[in-house]
Every structure is written in C-alpha cells, then in structure tokens.
Amino acid sequence: MVPKGDQPEAETSGAVLPVPPGGHRLPPLPYPYNALEPYISETQLRIHHDRHHAAYVEGLNTAELALVDERARLDFSLVRYWERELAFNGSGHILHSIYWTNMIPSGGEPTGLVRDCIVSYFGSVRAFREQFFRAALDVEGSGWGVLVWQPQWGRLEILTAWRHEDLTQWGTIPVLVVDTWEHAYYLDYQNRRADYIRAWWNVVNWPDVERRLRLAMAAQVPMQSYGGPAAHGPMPSAPMPGGPPPGGTGLAEPPPGPGIPGVP
C-alpha cells in the first residue's frame, strides 16, 4: 500500500478522508524554523519537529502496519505491545500537530468566542491562565498542558497528560496544548520549565484556538441511549462564574440525523 499521508481537514463539511494504515506523514511547520525566536530558538524547534515529532509519526505507522499484519495472520500474540505503541505514538503525533499550529510569531490575547468560553467557565482569562500555567508546570516528568472542549459537558476544561496519552478524559477535543517534555525546551531553558511556559504565552495563536474550538463544538458524544433521559441529569441551574457567554456557547441543536433503521 502506498501511504497517502494525512489528509487536510475539510472544514466546511467536517469530513476527513481516511488515512490508510501506516500512511501518516510529518506535517510541515506552518512557519520558518526561526519564526518563534526569541521565545523558541531555531535549533530547538528544528530538533523538536524534525526528530522528535518525526519519531512519533514513524512509531504510529509501524504500529498500524504491525496490526495489519497481525490481523492478516490472526496472530495477536503481540497485540498488547502494539496497542500501547498505537496509543503513545498516535497521541504524540496528534498533540505535536496541534502544538505547531497553536503557535504564531506574534501572539496576543484570547478574544471573541474563545474569551467568552474561558470567562464563562474559568471566571476570568487571568484565572484560566494561572490554572493552565500551574497545571502544565506541575506535570510530573514528561507531558502536556491541554485545554479541551468536552462535548459531553458542553464546555471547556483543562487537563494534563503524562507522556502523551495518560490522564486524559475520553471524548475531549484538544484546542490548545503546550508541550512540557524537556525535549521541547531544554536547549533554550535547560530545566526552567516555568520560563519556557511564560515565553510560550507570547506565541499562542488564539485565532487557531478559536478555529479549533468552533470545529470541536460541532462534535457530539451522546451520554444517553437513543431517545432516553440524560445520564448526567439536568444541567445545574446555578450560573457559571462570569455568566454565560454572550449569544450562548455557539452550540446549535444537533441537526436531525438519518435516524436508526427500525427506530421511530
């Protein structure tokens, strides 16, 4: 099979062409290697992207092709190993791909929908930044700070990840990620992770975060059986700190689907 590589997302329809097993490719950086200086150096960025991220893409492809081979032979004696490789390298490829686009040479402050949703849930942009900073700073060992949209709760949340895949919450969609593996900052900041995260705030691409948030808001992970009551009960009546965002969360009623055959 000839790998076709990751397909660009079709943002209007939400449809993404399937990536064949072993067909993942390292996405190019959306800016030159020196574009994030002085916050992240050219050498740091080049090694991080060209070597570390590339290794996750290679590991993901290897795991997928190994599983194709195991399925063909109906021999799953190594399935535990390959499933672990699939989770680690696949999550690493996804998070790094988001990390690059989450940065831009001249960052700014969150505005519009992103700001409204942050204020609605975290109370203020400052409170959000403090929690995100501490969460990312306090990741034990290698990991990530991750701002996610949780379709099941209909709001944002801050999570952290050990490595790339531990401590996550199913169904969430990352919209803003910061890599806190030492390989992300050691050349520039040695062991000063706090200085790196503070510098990283200067290159956050908030328009990209908003684009990701709008796409994430269209996702649905039902928590109830078809036509059944909500498993998590009614939404709390107490207002969120800061009140709801103007104009609501932007969530629309889900479009009427084709339905389930045989179900009225």
Cα→Cα distances 254→180, 198, 231, Å: 36, 39, 18
* H or E segment and range at residue 62: helix 54-73
CB closer to Mn ion, 142 vs 152? 142
Least spacing, CB of residue 173 vs Mn ion, in Å? 20
Q: Which residue is nearest to Mn ion (CB)?
A: 179
Is the peptide bond between 38 and the residue preceding it cis, with omega within 30 degrees of 0?
yes
Fill in the amino acid letter for 199: A
Least Cβ distance, residue 151 to Mn ion (angstroms): 26
The tokens for 111 are: 């505005």
Q: How far is the CB of 144 from Mn ion (least distance, A)?
A: 8
- Residue 257 CA to chain centroid, in angstroms? 27
Nearer to Mn ion (CB atom), residue 116 or residue 165 = 165
Binding site for Mn ion (CB under 5 A): 179, 181, 184
Q: Check if the beta carbon of residue 217 is closer than 8 Å to that of residue 91.
A: no
Identify the CA nearest to 207 among candidates 127, 107, 95, 98. Answer: 107
- By beta-carbon proximity to Mn ion, the closer residue of 31 and 153 is 31
Taking the chain, what is the end-to-end CA distance rounded to the nearest angstrom? 43
In the structure encoding, which two tokens stand for residue 14, read together? 């939400």
Smallest distance from the beta carbon of 184 to Mn ion, in angstroms?
Answer: 5
Residue type, 158: I
Nearer to Mn ion, 33 or 181 (CB): 181
- The minimum distance between CB 36 and Mn ion, in angstroms, equals 14
**176 or 217: CB nearest Mn ion:** 176
Distance in Å, CB of 148 to Mn ion, minimum: 18
Location of structure tokens 């790339």: 164
Residue 199's contacts (CB-CB under 8 Å, 6 or more residues apart) are 39, 40, 189
Q: Sign of the C-alpha dihedral, residues 202, 206, 208, 213? A: positive
Q: Where do the DSSP E strands lie in 43-192?
A: 143-150, 155-162, 173-179
Query: Of 66 and 98, which CB lies nearer to Mn ion in the complex structure?
Result: 98
Task: Tell me the closest approach of the beta carbon of residue 181 to Mn ion, in angstroms.
Answer: 5
Which CB sits closer to Mn ion, 96 or 212? 96
